[in-house]
A = this chain, B = another copy of it.
Amino acid sequence: MNRPESEGRDLYAIADLAEEFGISTRAIRFYESKGLLTPERVGTTRVFRRRDRARLILILRGKRLGFSLRDISDYLSLYDAHSQVKQTRMLVAKVEERLTLLEAQKADLETTIGELKDIKKLAEEQVGVGS
């Protein structure tokens, strides 16, 4: 069910990921120092795999949403637990908590978007839309 031969074929250098996601290598090292990433080492050099890359995507999305690295760390552990499927009750509670937060955030966002659309409409009427 596992394919050891296909493993070890997805290796990224720190600079690869930095460039791909438009962040600094220093930032990536910082995330590692906070335990959000756990790349392997070849000697002293970091080697990242698909898992790390996926986590990095989650990290950056979390940041775009305004979460702290601490929040994101918790969030990532939900994913880990997800694949490990242990302490499942705790997990459900945590997920629900997070969902409540996010749904509230979504409501805030929708309110804000609505208000801005109103402003835009009024402003456009003021000018004459097509002019």
Contact = CB atoms under 8 A, between A and B. Distances in A.
A15 interface: no
Q: How large is the interface on A (under 10, 10 to 19, 20 to 34, 35 or more residues)?
A: 35 or more
Contact of A113 (B81, B103, B113): B103
A24 interface: no
A85 interface: yes
A88 B120 contact: no
Interface of A: 61-62, 64-67, 78-79, 81-82, 85, 88-89, 91-92, 95-96, 98-99, 102-106, 108-113, 116-117, 119-120, 122-124, 126-127
Given A61-B112, A89-B127, A99-B116, 4 more contacts: A85-B123, A85-B126, A96-B120, A105-B109
